[in-house]
Copies of this chain bind each other. A is one copy, B any other.
Amino acid sequence: MTSYVEWDFLTDFIEKAFAAYGVPQEDAKICTDVLLQADKKGIESHGVNRFKPIYIDRIKEGIQNPITKFDIVRETPTTAVVDGHDGMGQVIGRQSMQLAIDKAKEYGMGMVAVRNSTHFGIAGYYTDMAAEAGCIGMSGTNARPSIAPTFSVENKLGTNPLTVSFPTDEAFPFSLDCATSIIQRGKIELYERQGKDTPAGAVIGRDGSAMTDSPEILKALQTGEAALAPLGGIGEKLSGYKGYGYATIVEVLSAALQQGNFLSMLSGIGENGEKTKYHLGHFFIAINTEAFMGLESFKKTAGDILRELRAAEKAPDADRIYTPGEKEYLIWQERKKTGLPINESVQKELITIRDDAGLTDYHFSFEE
């Protein structure tokens, strides 16, 4: 049964657990903050459900390092290239965006390209940091091959998020944090649990057909017999080449500025089928609104735009119109009262980690 876990307890546990696997105390705090930020926003695909399989298991398998060596390879007033040495992606990401923000504060703009990184969680965490600092933040990362180019059936591009946040005069920043595919695996898993088909056009089979059977898709994605369609869908009819183009831009910004790996090099599988390091690339951009007409003026205009959009005429069957970041804010207003709902499968993973790490002082409410 799904059970609600209180935030302070969960934060403390995750921090201690990261530390138990060798992540230094301060870095464990950052990794926990990034991980739970996803759950706070309702982005379950990137929250505690990833804690064991994506972070702890990979540390144990030796394909990412708990201790992060953050090297600046090259630097100019506004730019830097960072080598993350396969450390913790969240630590690399946070330090890189902070560097971009510091540069933007001094020179108006900053951009950092990163090599040899690992899964950094939600890109929106870093762009929100920029918004919090009065900047426009942009970020993206390459990832395991999933999206097929337009007119192809082969998974080539990662889900490559193109993420942007900026401050407004409202209680929360604008924050569009999304993959350049139509949907991601996590959404298809949700359809499967609900016994629903996946919408036609979101997934393409090797034969070029639009696949809709959710359990079948999940198997086929695993073997490469299916690929995700780019935003805009299969072919050019509804302009799938645009989503394909944006995914390609993210791939290039993530890899070409830092001489890094890309596309099929990022499969995580070695020549003999063994798991290998990912050597992911990311980019982080900060643009200081103070270098234009000032933060307050920017926030006001941005807020006015968002309010006018929300006040547009609704579709007959629609309750309301949202702007990016708003749903996530509303979910957090609810969840900060209730705690985080955790399903049984993630409950088991947390217990496994607790026992494995010997954190015997921690007893979860769902164990009662």
Report A's interface with B, CB cutoff 8 A: 74, 76-79, 81, 107-111, 113, 136, 148-154, 156-157, 162, 164, 166, 174, 176, 178, 180, 182-183, 199, 201-202, 204, 206-208, 231-233, 235, 237-239, 241-243, 245-246, 248-249, 251-253, 255-260, 262-264, 287-289, 291-293, 297-298, 301-302, 304-306, 308-310, 312-324
Could you tell me if A287 and B248 are in contact, using CB atoms closer than 8 angstroms? no
* Residue in contact with A107 in the complex, picked from B107, B305, B314, CB distance below 8 Å: B107
Could you tell me if B152 and A108 are in contact, using CB atoms closer than 8 angstroms? no
Could you tell me if A259 and B79 are in contact, using CB atoms closer than 8 angstroms? no
Give Cα A4 to B320, complex, Å. 51
* Residue in contact with A176 in the complex, picked from B245, B287, B289, B312, CB distance below 8 Å: B245
Chain multiplicity (copies)? 2
Give Cα A178 to B201, complex, Å. 21
Which chain B residues lie closer than 8 Å to A292 at the CB level?
74, 79, 81, 113, 257-258
Whether A263 contacts B208 in the complex (CB less than 8 A), given A238-B202, A245-B324, comes out as no
Could you tell me if B322 and A208 are in contact, using CB atoms closer than 8 angstroms? no
Which chain B residues lie closer than 8 Å to A302 at the CB level?
252, 256
Which chain B residues lie closer than 8 Å to A111 at the CB level?
108-109, 287
Q: Show 20 A/B contacts (Cβ-Cβ < 8 Å), sorted by A.
A: A78-B109, A78-B291, A79-B292, A81-B292, A149-B323, A152-B309, A157-B309, A174-B248, A174-B252, A182-B232, A202-B238, A231-B239, A233-B238, A235-B315, A238-B238, A252-B301, A255-B305, A257-B289, A259-B301, A264-B308
Which chain B residues lie closer than 8 Å to A180 at the CB level?
242
Q: Which 5 A-B pairs have the closest CB atoms?
A: A176-B245, A78-B108, A151-B318, A256-B301, A257-B292
Could you tell me if B176 and A246 are in contact, using CB atoms closer than 8 angstroms? yes
Which chain B residues lie closer than 8 Å to A246 at the CB level?
162, 176, 246
